[in-house]
Amino acid sequence: MSTARKFPRSAPASSVPAHADIVVIGAGFGGLYAHWRFRQLGMSIFGFEQGSDVGGTWYWNRYPGARCDVESVDYTYTFSRELLDEWTWSERFSTQPEILEYASYVADKFDLRRDIAFEAKVVSAKYDEAANLWTVRTAKGDEITCHWLVTTVGCLSVPKDPEFEGLDSFKGQWVQTGAWPKEGVDWSGKNVLVIGTGSSAVQTIPVVAETAGHLTVFQRTANFSVPAGNGPLPEHRREEVFADYPAYLERLKNTRGGQLWEMQTDKVAAEFSEEEQQQRLRQAWELGRWNIQGCFRDIMQNEDTNRLAAEFVHARIRETVKDPVTAEKLMPKNHPLGSKRMCLDTDYFETFNRPNVDLVDINEEPIVRITETGLQTSLKEYPADLIIFAIGFDAMTGPIVNLGIEGRGGLSLKQAWSEGPESYLGLAMPGFPNLFTVNGPSSPSVLTNMIVSLEHHVGWIAECIQTLREKGIDRIEATRDATHAWAEHTEEVAGYTLFPKANSWYMGANVPGKPQLFLAYLGGFDNYAARCDAIAANNFEGFDLASSKVEETA
Ligand code: N01
């Protein structure tokens, strides 16, 4: 854990004021930074958070083995040099408890809880055009008006409900990785079933397997996973990053993903000999992290290059998993590597060599129902004391749509996005003046280091509000044309890649009935940030600006 010094605990708000200049929804990493950054504007701020404390993703996802898949020295706030100097990460990839402790430390250090109401779920946010104000309400009935509304609700914060027939009748315990009980779960010696094999399951399975009596994993789609290469954070790595941090940060912000990997190259696979290609893949496997995706520049564009990397991973699975039938089932064959988010693991494939672990491919043996005592497939019943659902999230749009947002003329965001989310830069939508969505759909968000992206979005919003105030403008709204053009551009960029070839949550394909389109911007953080800067410099091109006082468009 960190060697940082402790600050007195920052106490939450005791009541909800009638009005604030800015309301921030969410107190995860985006929300905390928004409070800190917006305070610099000298405006009043108030925030709501559904959980009982700060942390967002890291508050809810307390499942065993939960870690970040971005290196800790990069998954860290960059806005305060003092904070950077005070906090020391203990591992290369931080654990959920350590990240949650960091969020709490930041809240204490900057006294950020004082303007936040906790256990306060926002159920509606309505825009009043005549007053040019938003009214935000919580499930408890609290109400506040604000001029600017900023959502920092994360991209993966609405877990999918486990809609399995018979679940109500199950007499054992069932839990969701994305809403893991705060009081913890005991699985030692028990018969455990895990449903799903995405990142959450890939982290949960090896830890649960260590002490479970028996663990059965139900897999619908085999997933690409590579060793994370975790361990203590080496001192030399800290020095590399912090010796000249401004220069390091500059490099980080000039990448496509807000992260620096050892193996990144400008060369396509065909520029290497076959021997060099295999050497690079081997080196990437040994280095861990996302290196395998950085081995060849065309890995996410060229099917042959992607297949080369996929076959390399298949060979490692074959090498690792002793039972050839299980190994074969674990090899992802129906989507390109990286087109579903690749997992970084610690001993995932090795876990299937344990005598107490079994794998069921539910394509061969579909789940029929949950019973009182376990799970019935088309072939047999699997007894269970505990069922862990690691079945993912209503990603990207779910967290924002669930806020009950209504814009001009009562236009509901749910309705506006019914055929897919159109959002200008992932930041703002036509019909919803003065509303900003941090890491919203069609921004780089989940394809980047989220800290780099959220600091950028919050910073852009803060500068926008500041500039508008200086010009006497109090209303900003994305135009339909600019929003539509950005949506087309987002789709076009995705079309140059292999990403749309998978039924992934990136495409909205994991939620029945959800419109399918690529939900994040694939043009790279560096290009995206430059575009946002250019738009701001060009008097917020693509936005309508207005002053309610003089009733004229700027
Ligand atoms: O969710 P997922 P997740 N019956 O959607 C299966 C981030 N994250 O929580 O692929 C049976 O990836 C589903 O099968 P299929 C990261 O961005 C980061 O694991 O749809 N199975 C899949 O196997 C990640 O991508 C970190 O066919 C069902 C699994 O459940 C994102 O969160 C850690 C099913 C869901 O996988 C989401 O990851 C954890 C059903 N009805 C998460 N429905 C790190 O930083 C779904 N599945 C390391």
Phi-psi region of 212 (alpha: psi -120 to 50; beta: other; left: phi over 0): beta
Atom of ligand 1 nearest to the CA of 164: 41
pLDDT of residue 102 exceeding 60: yes
Residue 37, C-beta contacts closer than 8 angstroms, at least 6 positions apart: 79, 458, 459, 462
Residue 245, C-beta contacts closer than 8 angstroms, at least 6 positions apart: 81, 84
Query: What's the whole-number mean pLDDT along residues 53-66?
Result: 98
Query: What's the whole-number mean pLDDT along residues 139-150?
Result: 98
pLDDT of residue 2 exceeding 60: no
| Cα dihedral across residues 388, 394, 395, 396: positive or negative | negative
Q: Are residues 178 and 275 in the same domain?
A: yes
pLDDT score, position 548:
81
pLDDT of residue 549 exceeding 80: no
Q: What is the distance between the alpha carbons of residues 74 and 9, in angstroms, rounded to a whole number?
A: 26
Average model confidence (pLDDT) for the chain? 96
Q: Are residues 244 and 116 in the same domain?
A: no
Query: What's the whole-number mean pLDDT along residues 54-63?
Result: 98
Q: What is the distance between the alpha carbons of residues 265 and 368, in angstroms, rounded to a whole number?
A: 47
User: Which of 512-525 are b and which e, b meaning 16 or more Cβ less than 10 Å from the residue's Cβ?
Assistant: eebeebbbbbbbbb
Residue 1 — pLDDT band, cuts 50, 70, 90?
A: low
User: Which of 58-89 are b and which e, b meaning 16 or more Cβ less than 10 Å from the residue's Cβ?
Assistant: bbbbbbbbbbbbbbbbbbbbbbeeebbeebeb
If DSSP states are collapsed to H, E and C, what string results for 274-305? Answer: HHHHHHHHHHHHHHCCCHHHHCCCCCCCCHHH
* Cβ count near 355 (within 10 Å): 6
Which of 340, 361, 389 is the last residue in one of the domains?
389
Query: What's the whole-number mean pLDDT along residues 5-18?
Result: 91
Which of 340, 365, 389 is the last residue in one of the domains?
389
Residue 260 — pLDDT band, cuts 50, 70, 90?
A: confident
Residue at 11 is within a domain:
no
Query: What's the whole-number mean pLDDT along residues 123-142?
Result: 98
Which of 340, 363, 389 is the last residue in one of the domains?
389
Q: SS3 breakdown of the chain: % helix, strand, coil, rounded to 5?
A: 35, 20, 45
Q: Are residues 477 and 538 in the same domain?
A: yes
Q: Are residues 322 and 438 in the same domain?
A: no
Q: Are residues 384 and 414 in the same domain?
A: no
The closest residue, in CA terms, to atom 13 on ligand 1 is 196
Closest to 106 in 3D by CA, of 129, 131, 87, 132:
87
- Ligand 1 pocket, 72 CB below 6 A? no
pLDDT of residue 419 exceeding 70: yes
Q: What is the pLDDT of residues 473-488, one digit of tens each?
A: 999 999 999 999 999 9
Amino acid, res. 72: S
Q: Are residues 415 and 368 in the same domain?
A: no
Residue 505 alpha carbon to ligand 1 centre in Å: 8
Query: What's the whole-number mean pLDDT along residues 165-180?
Result: 98
Say how many domains are in the chain: 2
Residue at 1 is within a domain:
no
- What is the chain's Cα-based Rg? 24
Query: What's the whole-number mean pLDDT along residues 315-341?
Result: 98
Residue 100 alpha carbon to ligand 1 centre in Å: 21
Amino acid, res. 163: E
Q: Are residues 368 and 256 in the same domain?
A: yes
Q: Are residues 300 and 446 in the same domain?
A: no
Q: What is the CATH number of the domain that holds 482?
A: 3.50.50.60
Q: Which helix (H) or strand (E) holds 345?
A: strand 343-345
Cross-strand bridge partners of residue 145: 19, 135
Q: Are residues 187 and 204 in the same domain?
A: yes
Q: Are residues 193 and 123 in the same domain?
A: no
Residue-range definition of the domain harbouring residue 399: 19-158+395-546
Question: Ligand 1 pocket check: which of 29, 200, 396 to mutate, most ligand atoms within 8 Å of Cβ?
Answer: 200
Residue 396 alpha carbon to ligand 1 centre in Å: 14
pLDDT of residue 551 exceeding 60: no
Q: Are residues 252 and 358 in the same domain?
A: yes
* Cβ count near 343 (within 10 Å): 19
Residue at 285 is within a domain:
yes
Q: Are residues 220 and 324 in the same domain?
A: yes
pLDDT of residue 83 exceeding 80: yes
Q: What is the distance between the alpha carbons of residues 175 and 378, in angstroms, rounded to a whole number?
A: 23
Residue at 14 is within a domain:
no
Q: What is the distance between the alpha carbons of residues 197 and 343, in angstroms, rounded to a whole number?
A: 10
Give yes or no for a contact between 166 and 370, defined as CB atoms under 8 angstroms apart: yes
Write the CA distances from 177 to 61, 64, 156, 344, integer angstroms.
Answer: 6, 9, 12, 17
Query: Phi then psi for 288, rounded to 5 degrees?
Result: 80, -155
pLDDT score, position 553:
41
Residue 554 — pLDDT band, cuts 50, 70, 90?
A: very low
Residue at 406 is within a domain:
yes
Give yes or no for a contact between 1 and 98, defined as CB atoms under 8 angstroms apart: yes
Residue 198 alpha carbon to ligand 1 centre in Å: 4
Residue at 300 is within a domain:
yes
Query: What's the whole-number mean pLDDT along residues 215-244?
Result: 93
